[in-house]
């Protein structure tokens, strides 16, 4: 008989993973605060022109989500696996905004050429992998047997 590990009771993770989780959490909190304060215009460049909601509320909402996810990474060690899965899903969900920035040629965050905007697209999968690795989400996910 195999015992199943709950996503909320995953075994402890390594020090490097914990440090990476804290770093990612800090980055997300900082990014979220910047959505709400000094970088609102820059983040507006990432809202696709076809998106049916005005840029302002989207930037604010995504900032609040990033602060929440970052805080969860920093403070919720017991539920780190489920948080890691949600953070990875968030990075996947915002990818269309990055793609739209490239396709629409919107400048923001120094991404003022097509080449720079294209290169940035390749960093999104790295963020997904970072979230999954740092939280042990891939290693400690429940397995079907």
Q: DSSP states of the chain as a string?
A: -PPPPPGGGPPP--HHHHHHHHHHHHHHHHHHHHHHTTTHHHHHTTS-TT-SS-HHHHHHHHHHHHHHHHHHHHH-STTHHHHHHHHHHHHHHTHHHHHHHHHHT---TT--SHHHHHHHHTTHHHHHHHHHHHHTHHHHS----
CB 137 within 8 A of CB 79: no
Q: Dmax of the chain from CA atoms?
A: 57
Q: How many residues does the chain have?
A: 145
Q: pLDDT tens digits for 12-63?
A: 678 899 999 999 999 999 999 999 999 998 898 889 889 999 999 999 999 9
pLDDT at res. 70: 98
pTM for the full model? 0.86
pLDDT at res. 89: 98
Q: The tokens 């780190």 sit on which residue?
A: 80
Report how far apart the first and last C-alpha atoms of the chain are (Å, whole number): 11
């Amino acid at each position: 008989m195999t015992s199943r590990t709950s996503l909320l009771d995953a075994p402890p993770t390594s020090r490097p993973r914990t440090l990476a989780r804290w770093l990612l959490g800090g980055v997300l909190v900082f990014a979220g605060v910047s959505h709400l304060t000094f970088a609102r215009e820059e983040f507006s460049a990432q809202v696709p022109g076809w998106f049916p909601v005005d840029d302002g509320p989207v930037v604010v909402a995504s900032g609040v989500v990033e602060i929440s996810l970052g805080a969860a990474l920093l403070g919720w060690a017991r539920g780190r696996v489920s948080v890691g899965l949600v953070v990875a899903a968030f990075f996947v969900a915002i990818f269309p905004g990055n793609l739209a920035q490239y396709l629409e040629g919107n400048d923001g965050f120094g991404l003022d050429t097509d080449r720079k905007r294209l290169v940035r697209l390749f960093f999104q999968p790295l963020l997904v992998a970072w979230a999954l690795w740092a939280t042990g989400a891939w290693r400690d996910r429940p397995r079907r047997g």
